[in-house]
Chains A and B, each alone.
Chain A
Amino acid sequence: MQEFNSILAGFGGQGILFMGKAIAYAGLIDGKEVSWLPSYGPEMRGGTANCSVCISEEDICSPLVTNPNVLIAMNLPSFDKFIDTVVPGGTVIIDSTLVSKKVDRTDVNVSYIPATEIAESKGLKGLANIILIGKLLEQTNFCSYETIEKTINEVVPARKKNLIPKNMEAINIGMNYKN
């Protein structure tokens, strides 16, 4: 992708900000310009959390994304808030375990994936966000598979290194899931 301007949104605690960091890190590994900007308002406390992540070949002008070409929504309020801001032709990925609505726009590419449910059933609790990164990779090729492997190795904290295989399993599940 030439310009990657994304909004990732959901509840606090779902790993939204971590998902954003991982995506930005992948861009960094590929030698691109990246930015990650969290929402840090009072809405974080138990409410919605979201972040803007940009990856670009050139300097990033505005790190605040208002019209994303990638949206990942992990709850209904986020879906409602951001779905109309996506640019035509953009990619929308929805955790359909948590968002029951369907997109009524026809000018965006939508993937529904019950990431939270899959994570629970496969013993990957808490890795729904990583499954969604897998889906994002399959949909957009925003980086290579090799880069994602490196990324996971870098962003998983040292004391949780034993979880790297599970994270990669989550990536693979997301990549191979078909609607």
Chain B
Amino acid sequence: MKGNEALAEAAIQAGCTRFFGYPITPQTELAAYMAKRLPKIGGVFLQAESEVSAINMLQGAGAAGVRAMTSSSSPGISLKAEGISYMAGADVPGLIINVQRGGPGLGGIQPSQADYWQATKAPGHGDFHILVFAPNSVQEMVDLVSHAFDLSDNYRVPAMILADGLLGQMMEPVEIKSSDEKVELPKKQWATCGHNNEREHNIVNSLFLQANELERVVRERFERYKVIEENETMCEKYMTDDADYIVVAFGATARVAKAAVKDARAKGIKIGLVRPITLWPFPKEELKEVAVNAKSFLCVEMNMGQMVEDVKLAIDCSRPVEFFGRTGGVIPTPAEVLEQIVKLSGGEQ
């Protein structure tokens, strides 16, 4: 199944019944799939007049307590930034898919990871985070969709799947758990979904004009972020136990890096791979652990080096952190990464 379509089907299986989108390469198949499927199961597919409308529709659906999703690619996500901030400020859950392409500006349409900073640091204005997941295969995209929905609901924090054009366009075999039973979603006491005068009315809002009140709300949210950081960080470690050198890579790039790590091991270089699956929260503890025995790190990304500073912070700059990346839509090859690994290990060939 194609990555974009798998994301859509996985969302439906996770109980997503509303989708709001606007076409943009390389994620359009996702919206097209939703347009075909959602009406058949009594859901709503809506092609908005712009990305700005789509994200605000997502906020509305989320505030009403239903599972909803929007998807776009890099330039479109920038347009959604305001809405994402409003959702975070009003504690509205929802899932945002970014099938990244090259930037800045209109950029290109080839795969990229250049929205790392945007996703993890500043998906919009204000003091907030969103959950960011970086799958590396079509199967993992599928698995993370339902997980992202669950966490988003539990913590009332918007979630993002940060994919890229390669993952969106490629086809791989996938297993999607489908159940004939309706997905049991958690009750949302706070949702604005009508109350027949049986309870006080709920308000979902991000406006707090009293400074003290706004500070209290933001601080409460950051308490939740702490719980998320403690409990929801995900990462994969590969051959790190005896590793002198560590490659850090996420998403599709981590697959290329893994190939290079295997080749380097065949050359006798003791190297391992750490693959953050959640980019926020970032797997700081795991990196700190492997830094105890490692001599140096190499960050491999499809951008100019955005995650590299998070790696340095995670290990308190206790080891050198080198960087190798391709950008603009160019995908690094295992041979290029291997060359960097050999260089890192002092060129012992």
Q: Give per-residue flags for A44-86: 1 if the beta carbon is below 8 A from chain B beta carbons, else 0.
A: 0000000000000000111110110000000000000000000
**Contacting pair B255 A62 (CB below 8 A):** yes
Residues of chain A with a CB closer than 8 A to B256's CB: 61-62, 64
A161 to chain B, nearest CB (A): 22
B25 and A40 contacting across the interface, CB-CB below 8 Å: yes
Q: How far apart are B237's CB and chain A's nearest CB, in angstroms? A: 16
Question: Given contacts A61-B256, A63-B255, are A36 and B170 in contact (CB under 8 A)?
Answer: yes
Residues of B within 8 A of A143 (CB): none
Given A36-B170, A40-B25, A61–B262 Cβ distance below 8 Å? yes
- A41-B170 contact given A62-B256, A66-B333, CB 8 Å threshold: no
> B165 touches which one: A21, A28, A35, A40 (CB < 8 A)?
A40
**Which residue of A is nearest B331, CB measured?**
A64
- B26 close to chain A: CB less than 8 A: yes
B26, B256, B262: which has the most chain A beta carbons within 10 Å?
A: B256
Q: In this complex, what residue of B is CB-closest to A20?
A: B171
CB-based contact A64/B109 at 8 Å: no
Q: Is B72 an interface residue (CB 8 A)?
A: no
Known: A34-B172, A35-B170, A62-B256. A40 touches B109 (CB 8 A): yes
A38, CB-defined interface residue at 8 Å: yes
Chain A residues contacting B173 (CB-CB under 8 Å) are 28, 33-34
**Cα separation A158 to B334 with both chains bound (whole Å):** 39
- Check A24 for interface membership: any CB of B closer than 8 A: yes
Q: Which of under 10, 10 to 19, 20 to 34, or 35 or more describes the interface residues of B?
A: 20 to 34
- Residues 105-123 of B, flagged 1 when their CB comes within 8 A of A and 0 if not, give 0000110000000000000
Cβ of B169 < 8 Å from any Cβ of A? yes
Q: Is A98 an interface residue (CB 8 A)?
A: no
Residues in B whose Cβ lies below 8 Å from that of A33 = 173
Known interface pairs A35-B171, A40-B109. Does A64 touch B259 (Cβ–Cβ under 8 Å)? Answer: no
Does A37 have its Cβ within 8 Å of any Cβ on chain B?
Answer: yes
Q: Measured between C-beta atoms, what is the minimum distance from A7 to chain B in Å?
A: 13
B335 interfacial contact with A, CB 8 Å? yes
Contact A41 B109 (CB under 8 A): yes
In whole angstroms, what is the CA distance A93 to B256 when docked? 27
Complex contact B25–A61 (CB within 8 A): no
B259, A61: Cβ atoms closer than 8 Å: yes
Q: Name which residue of chain B comes closest to A37, CB basis.
A: B170
Given contacts A61-B262, A63-B255, contact A36 B166 (CB under 8 A): no
Question: What separation, in Å, do the CA atoms of A146 and B202 have in the docked complex?
Answer: 63
Asked whether B258 is an interface residue with its Cβ less than 8 Å from the other chain, the reply is yes
Q: Which residues of the other chain, A, contact B170 by a CB distance below 8 angstroms?
A: 35-38, 63
Chain B residues positioned under 8 Å from A61 (CB to CB): 255-256, 258-259, 262, 334
Closest-CB distance, B32 to chain A (whole angstroms): 14
Residues of B within 8 A of A36 (CB): 170-172
| Cβ distance A143 to chain B, nearest Cβ, rounded Å | 15
Of the candidates A24, A35, A40, A62, the one whose C-beta lies within 8 Å of that of B259 is A62
Most buried by B among A33, A34, A37, A38: A37
With a CB–CB cut-off of 8 A, which chain A residues contact B25?
Answer: 40
Given the complex, which residues of B lie within 8 Å of A67, measured CB to CB?
Answer: 335
Residue in A21, A41, A63 whose Cβ sees the most chain B Cβ within 10 Å: A63
- Chain B residues with CB under 8 A of A37: 166, 169-171
Are A21 and B171 touching (Cβ within 8 A)?
yes
A66 near B172 with CB under 8 A, answer no
Q: Is the CB of A62 within 8 A of B334?
A: yes
Cα distance, A35 to B171, chains bound together (Å): 6
Q: Which residues on A sit within 8 Å (CB–CB) of B335?
A: 66-67
Could you tell me the distance in whole angstroms from the C-beta of A141 to the nearest C-beta in chain B?
22
Q: Give bound CA distance, A66 to B170, whole Å.
A: 15
Closest chain B residue, CB of each to CB of A36: B171
| Minimum C-beta distance from A126 to chain B (A) | 22
Q: Check B166 against A64 for contact (C-beta < 8 Å).
A: yes
Binding site for B on A (CB under 8 A): 21, 24, 28, 33-38, 40-42, 60-64, 66-67
Can you name 14 A-B residue pairings with CB atoms under 8 Å?
A21-B171, A35-B170, A40-B25, A40-B165, A40-B169, A61-B334, A62-B256, A62-B259, A62-B334, A63-B170, A64-B166, A64-B256, A64-B333, A66-B335
| Supplied contacts A37-B166, A37-B169, A63-B255, 12 more A-B pairs, CB within 8 Å | A33-B173, A37-B170, A38-B169, A40-B26, A41-B109, A60-B172, A61-B258, A61-B334, A62-B333, A63-B170, A64-B166, A67-B335
**Complex A-B, nearest 6 residue pairs according to Cβ-Cβ distance, in ascending order:** A61-B259, A36-B171, A37-B170, A62-B256, A66-B333, A61-B255
